[in-house]
């Protein structure tokens, strides 16, 4: 990650990586055409059992069949994809002579698909590539279709895979992991439950907040992070109440903007702790952010007062007498917002054993995301944050 911190911004030179994007209702129909354009003869399609039940996998397979494309289907993916699932998928990819990787689903199938493409093309184990810029050889073409407005795996240069032996969620970061094509069809959100819509939107919100205050944020990422915060804050309640496709489309757009921001500016302490909690306790990623994010923002305030005040101005729709007042009022309003969604704001609800917090913080101290947090944090300081929200 140190090389990422040094190379992404040099003087007035900015690097901004995104895939080709198809965005809009019914854009799923371009999946087969896109695969053919990538030279596909046999697609390795990754998804999971949850999305199968919604009917979207079957619809996608019909689209591929209309283009007379062959495929191999792989769905052995958990909500936090395991390293052994990546190895198993890569072996199947090579055994069946596949040439394009496609994924439809949330962050787990897409991260798994990245890991499979990585191991199939570079060899070894997915664990060998933990950290930043460890990938040598090109990956096969990748086409991703997100079913949630959150993870950003269809946009980003991140993949998060669980090392089962160490019980750690590994961050793998490389420009090579940015998919060739992202197809973002908001209609896929219409089959999501209320809980999944909330978890996804709050994950995207945390992406945007952490990217905005990141040490390597730039004007090109900041415009996307602030827009994502504004759209999620205003459109999530409406989407939950009405399930309007217009509001769901706004959430899809916000998730895409947040992904563009964090892919190029990285994340921070909230995600370092969330990754650690996911590795140690196998928790669902999206439900962690309402618990940790406000306290992490308070911790970062002394290093990022102006940036957090910008976030506060978006949330409050006004500016108070000083940046610090605006920042603090914005954090308080964010806490009220989380409570209004009736999500957990206490760590004890997902960590039944308080004694595990020490290990969670020790593992978070090793997470790559912590390097771009605007304020350095020790294990003890992270533990104090966890204790405050216990």
Co-location of 159 and 119 in the same domain: yes
Q: Both 374 and 280 in a single domain?
A: yes
78 and 218 in a common domain: no
Domain span holding position 102: 2-188
Alpha-carbon distance 375 to 373, whole Å?
6
Q: What is the CATH number of the domain that holds 161?
A: 3.40.50.1970
Same domain, 236 and 328: yes
* Alpha carbon 84 to chain centroid, angstroms: 21
Angle subtended at Cα 282 by Cα 280 and Cα 288, rounded to the nearest 5 degrees: 95
Give the chain's end-to-end CA distance (angstroms, integer): 30
Q: What is the pLDDT of residue 14?
A: 82
Distance CA 23, CA 186 (A): 8
Asked whether residue 23 falls in the same domain as residue 41, the answer is yes
On whether both 209 and 135 belong to a single domain, the answer is: no
* Long-range contacts of 187-195, Cβ-Cβ distance < 8 Å, separation of 24 or more: 187/25, 187/26, 187/28, 187/245, 188/28, 188/56, 188/145, 188/146, 188/147, 189/147, 189/148, 189/149, 189/248, 189/251, 189/252, 190/243, 190/245, 190/248, 191/54, 191/55, 191/56, 192/147, 192/148, 194/240
pLDDT of residue 11: 56
144 and 23 in one domain? yes
Task: Say whether both 170 and 216 belong to one domain.
Answer: no
Q: Which pLDDT value is given to residue 282? A: 72
CB 292 within 8 A of CB 335: no
Domain endpoint, select from 154, 188, 222: 188
Q: Which two three-digit tokens encode residue 331?
A: 């954090």
Q: Are 25 and 249 in contact (CB under 8 A)?
A: yes
- Spell out the residues 6+ positions from residue 118 whose beta carbon is closer than 8 angstroms to its own: 86, 90, 126, 129, 135, 139, 159, 172, 176, 177
Same domain, 332 and 278: yes
Residues 6+ apart with CB under 8 A from 12: none
Q: How far apart are CA 146 and CA 110, in angstroms?
A: 8
Number of structural domains the chain divides into: 2
CATH number at residue 266: 1.20.1090.10
CB atoms within 10 A of CB 340: 9
Q: Are residues 15 and 123 in the same domain?
A: yes
In the block, which residue shows the tokens 């306290």? Answer: 295
Q: Which two tokens stand for residue 291?
A: 């618990």
Same domain, 255 and 338: yes
Looking at the structure, tell me whether residues 164 and 246 fall in a common domain. Answer: no
Structure tokens given for 24: 């809009």
For the whole prediction, is pTM greater than 0.85? yes
Could you say which of 188, 213, 239 is where a domain stops? 188
pLDDT tens for the 390 residues of the chain, in order: 433 444 455 556 788 999 999 999 999 999 999 999 999 999 999 999 999 999 999 999 999 999 999 999 999 999 889 999 999 999 999 999 999 999 999 999 999 999 999 999 999 999 999 999 999 999 999 999 999 988 899 999 999 999 999 988 899 999 999 999 999 999 999 999 999 999 999 999 999 999 999 999 999 999 999 999 999 999 999 999 999 999 999 999 999 999 999 999 999 999 999 999 988 777 777 789 999 999 999 999 999 999 999 999 999 999 999 999 999 999 999 999 999 999 999 999 888 889 999 999 999 999 999 999 999 999 999 999 999 999
Question: Could you tell me which residues come within 8 angstroms of residue 193 by beta carbon, excluding any fewer than 6 positions away?
Answer: none
Q: Which residues contact 199 (CB under 8 A, 6 or more apart)?
A: 150, 284, 285, 286, 287
Q: At what angle do helices 219-242 and 194-213 cross, to 10 degrees?
A: 160
100, 143 Cβ separation under 8 angstroms: yes
- Cβ(133)–Cβ(105) below 8 Å: no
- Say what the pLDDT of residue 5 is: 47
Domain finish residue from 172, 188, 204: 188
Q: Nearest-CA neighbor of 178 among 212, 142, 208? A: 142
């Amino acid at each position: 990650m140190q090389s990422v911190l040094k190379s992404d911004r040099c003087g007035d030179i900015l690097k901004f990586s995104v895939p080709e994007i198809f965005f809009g209702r019914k854009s799923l129909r371009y999946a087969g055409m896109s695969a053919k354009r990538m030279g596909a003869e046999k697609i390795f399609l990754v998804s999971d059992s949850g999305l199968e039940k919604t009917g979207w996998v079957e619809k996608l397979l019909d689209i591929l069949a209309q283009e007379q494309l062959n495929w191999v289907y792989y769905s052995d993916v958990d909500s936090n994809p395991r390293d052994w699932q990546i190895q198993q998928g890569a072996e199947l990819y090579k055994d069946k002579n596949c040439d394009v990787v496609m994924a439809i689903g949330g962050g787990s199938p897409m991260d798994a698909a990245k890991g499979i493409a990585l191991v199939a093309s570079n060899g070894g184990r997915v664990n060998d590539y933990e950290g930043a810029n460890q990938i040598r050889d090109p990956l096969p073409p990748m086409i991703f279709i997100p079913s949630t407005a959150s993870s950003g795996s269809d946009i980003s240069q991140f993949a998060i895979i669980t090392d089962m032996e160490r019980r750690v969620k590994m961050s793998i970061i490389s420009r090579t992991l940015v998919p060739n094509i992202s197809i973002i069809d908001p209609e896929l959100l219409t089959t999501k439950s209320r809980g999944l819509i909330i978890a996804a939107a709050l994950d995207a919100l945390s992406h945007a907040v952490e990217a905005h205050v990141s040490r390597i944020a730039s004007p090109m990422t900041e415009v996307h992070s602030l827009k994502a915060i504004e759209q999620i804050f205003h459109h999530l309640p409406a989407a939950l109440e009405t399930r309007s496709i217009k509001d769901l489309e706004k959430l899809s757009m916000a998730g895409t903007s947040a992904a563009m921001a964090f892919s190029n500016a990285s994340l921070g302490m909230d995600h370092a702790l969330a990754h650690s909690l996911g590795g140690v306790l196998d928790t669902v990623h999206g439900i962690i952010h309402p618990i940790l994010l406000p306290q992490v923002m308070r911790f970062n305030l002394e290093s990022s007062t102006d940036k957090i005040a910008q976030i506060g101005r978006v949330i409050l729709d006004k500016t108070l007498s000083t940046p610090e007042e605006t920042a603090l009022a914005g954090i308080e309003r964010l806490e009220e917002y989380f409570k209004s969604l009736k999500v957990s704001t206490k760590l004890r609800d997902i960590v039944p054993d308080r004694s595990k917090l020490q290990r969670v913080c020790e593992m978070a101290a090793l997470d790559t995301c912590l390097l771009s947090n605007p304020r350095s944090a020790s294990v003890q300081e992270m533990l104090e944050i966890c204790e405050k929200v216990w």
